[in-house]
Amino acid sequence: MINKNRVKISDILSSDWLDKEAFVYGWIRTSRFSKNVCFIELNDGSSFKSLQLVIDMQSISIDESKMQTGTCISAKGLIVKSPGADQSCEMQVSEVKIVGLADETYPIQKKRHSLEFLREIPHLRCKTNTFFATFKVRSKLAKAVHDYFQDRNFLYIHSPIITLNDCEGGSEAFQITTLNLKEVKEKGLDYSADFFKRPAYLTVSGQLEAEPFALTHGAVYTFGPTFRADPSDTPRHAAEFWMIEPEMAFYDLDDLLELIEDFIKNITRKIKDNCQSELEFFKNFIEPELDNRYAVLLDHKFERIDFAEAIEILKQADRKFEVEPKWGEDLTMEHERYLVDEHFKKPVFITNYPENFKSFYMRINEDGKSVACVDLLVPGIGEIISGSQREERYDFLEKRMLAKGMEKSLYEWYLQTRLWGSAPHAGFGLGFERMIMYLTGMKNVKDVIPYPRAARKIY
């Protein structure tokens, strides 16, 4: 039976529990034995910091072989001031019991494990300090995102996971089906027998479905999983990730940039204020320059430049790029990193990209060659947000769709929103995991997702 008098370790560490008895549950992070004393670092998940247990083995009989990393125990004892510099208090144990044994086969031991090794055991890596801290930040960041939009009266909507159209008009969508693939191979493809009677896909974005709500409620946001069948397997790529996508009516591009900067600063400040123990760990073991990362976002006004200006800066750089920067071609990661890491050394908004390689829904500028869009670049990461003023004019939107070879019938519902009460509006998308990477210093997107999915791999 669970002892209902259980006290959370976070309460013991943050409150005045000195000279009081407490009963705790938790998992052994580390244990060491010195003469007739056993020292255990116990963590119950309520706090990044653990509680040190001190067991006098002359008074309490314990099996040393069972007090190993990973074992779940319960303990009762007196909370006293700790003589150690790393903790304010400790428990002088009077009673200890094993709840769940972790034997010598437990793969996470008291040593540094590589992130590659831990990636192969996602069901256990959350027990390590690195991932314990990572997923605490992830949780706090999700709350900060919701708080930001809810406090500003944005409507939270759940966009569909299964869609019939691809927001980006590309070929990176996962197709789903109820058809027996063996029969498809033998008899050919017959969608009349499929669940939806037509091709269906996992969503790559909730933007298109959010726009009609913005044209009703004024300001909305989606925050949910998206999927990309990108065959790349790099530290920046995952097949399943989360996106934050607000859409706002009566916003132009300038309004959008103001919102993005305020949003990024706000959620960054929330993590800095509410995850101090975790950030100290990341600074000590993952990213020594983490404090500077936060200062870069919080202490500077974000730079704003036009795409044409970005090209000129790159052309005048005193270095050779692998790909020559030019108007009409997208920036490479090398270009982005130079602009943000070396030239400006702070976050940069790049606006008004050439329309030829940008999405169909972005509003055409008066020059007829560029679109009212923006990418936000941040030091150490590169592009972290993409957004635009949406094309609210039916004829312009239809023309761009047809020019990109898109099947108009699949987007008829989207075009109709430009016929009946259309209005200027704008929105952006933030890759949630990229923001976590920036705020923690973690280098691989697969290490900020609890159970990552990537090309050729399901961890």
Give yes or no for a contact between 414 and 226, defined as CB atoms under 8 angstroms apart. Answer: no
- pLDDT for res 441: 97
- pLDDT for res 330: 96
Confidence of residue 170 (pLDDT cuts 50, 70, 90): low
Q: Which residues contact 298 (CB under 8 A, 6 or more apart)?
A: 265, 268, 269, 272
Tens-digit pLDDT profile for residues 295-309: 999 999 999 999 999
- pLDDT for res 165: 75
Give yes or no for a contact between 67 and 26, defined as CB atoms under 8 angstroms apart. Answer: no
Per-residue tokens: 103 = 């034997």
Length of the chain: 459
- pLDDT for res 122: 95
Confidence of residue 2 (pLDDT cuts 50, 70, 90): confident
| Domain covering 9-100 assigned CATH 2.40.50.140 in the classification | yes
Confidence of residue 123 (pLDDT cuts 50, 70, 90): very high
Tens-digit pLDDT profile for residues 76-121: 999 999 987 778 899 999 999 999 999 889 999 878 899 999 999 9
- pLDDT for res 230: 87
Give yes or no for a contact between 234 and 446, defined as CB atoms under 8 angstroms apart. Answer: no
pLDDT at 169 over 60: no
Q: Look at residues 177, 220, 131, 214 and name the one whose alpha carbon lies nearest to residue 449.
A: 131
Residue with tokens 């995850």: 275
- pLDDT for res 242: 97
Core vs surface per residue 177-192: b (16+ CB within 10 A) or e: eeeeeeeeeeeeeeee
Proportion of the chain in helix, strand, coil states, percent, rounded to 5: 35, 25, 40
Direct distance between the N- and C-terminal alpha carbons of the chain, in angstroms, rounded to an integer:
34
Min mean pLDDT across 350-354, 404-408, 444-448 is at: 404-408
Residues facing 163 on adjacent strands: 201
- pLDDT for res 168: 61
Sequence spans of domains, the chain = 9-100, 124-458
Backbone angles phi, psi at 179, to 5 degrees: -70, 145
- pLDDT for res 100: 97
Confidence of residue 167 (pLDDT cuts 50, 70, 90): low
Q: Please give the Cα distance from 428 to 426 (Å, whole number).
A: 7
Confidence of residue 427 (pLDDT cuts 50, 70, 90): very high
pTM for the whole thing? 0.94
Give yes or no for a contact between 349 and 374, defined as CB atoms under 8 angstroms apart. Answer: yes
Tens-digit pLDDT profile for residues 221-259: 999 999 999 888 888 889 999 999 999 999 999 999 999
Task: Give the fold, CATH level 3, of 124-458.
Answer: BirA Bifunctional Protein; domain 2 (3.30.930)
H or E element at residue 336 = helix 333-337
- pLDDT for res 171: 59
Decide which of 166 and 353 is more confident: 353
Q: Is 70 left (phi over 0), alpha (psi -120 to 50) or beta?
A: left
Tens-digit pLDDT profile for residues 270-324: 999 999 999 999 999 999 999 999 999 999 999 999 999 999 999 999 989 999 9
What mean pLDDT is predicted for residues 415-428? 97
Tens-digit pLDDT profile for residues 190-228: 999 999 999 999 999 999 999 999 999 999 999 999 999
Tens-digit pLDDT profile for residues 10-42: 999 998 899 999 999 999 999 999 889 999 999
